[in-house]
């Protein structure tokens, strides 16, 4: 098995472990060197593991999105705004 595929599988397995242990109670921030496939593997994970998702790349997102994270005391507001900005309707996890 090529090294790249093994590497992606290890990362994917770590994402699955995070999903199982966090049970929706924590966010995930993926950091690393540029252009190594972070966005690709995270988007593949989101597509396979969730009914809906919003992928935010903080290196390219708008100032409006960045400003939402200055005060995270109202998560409902943040998620409503993100749905509007990204034109995505997030599905309730508890309903499948």
Q: Mean pLDDT across the stretch 38-63?
A: 93
| Rounded Cα–Cα distance for residues 72 and 69 (Å) | 6
70 shares its domain with 45 = no
pLDDT of residue 3: 74
Query: Whose CA is closest to 11, among 55, 58, 44?
Result: 44
| Average pLDDT of the residues in 5-16 | 88
Residue 34 pLDDT level (bands cut at 50, 70, 90): confident
The more confidently predicted of residues 31 and 62 is 62
Based on the structure, what is the number of domains in the chain? 2
Please check whether residue 16 lies inside any domain of the structure.
Answer: yes
Average pLDDT score, the chain: 90
Shared domain check, 45 and 14: yes
C-alpha 90/C-alpha 52 separation (Å) is: 5
Same domain, 3 and 44: yes
As given in the structure block, the two tokens for residue 63 are: 């100032």
In a domain, 86, yes or no: yes
Residue labelled with tokens 């996890």: 93
User: What's the burial of 46, exposed, middle or buried (CB within 10 Å: 0-12/13-18/19+)?
Assistant: middle
Residue 55 falls inside a structural domain: no
- Over range 24-44, report the average pLDDT: 88
Domain that holds residue 78: 61-96
Domain presence at residue 56:
no
């Amino acid at each position: 098995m090529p090294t790249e595929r093994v590497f992606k599988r290890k990362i994917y397995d770590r994402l699955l472990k995070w999903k199982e242990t966090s049970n929706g109670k924590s966010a995930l921030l993926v950091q690393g060197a540029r252009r190594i496939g972070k966005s690709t593997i995270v988007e593949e994970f989101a597509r396979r593991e969730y009914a809906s998702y919003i992928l935010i790349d903080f290196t390219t997102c708008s100032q409006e999105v960045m400003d939402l994270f200055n005060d995270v005391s109202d998560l409902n507001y943040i998620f409503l705004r993100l749905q509007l900005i990204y034109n995505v309707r997030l599905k309730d996890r508890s309903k499948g």
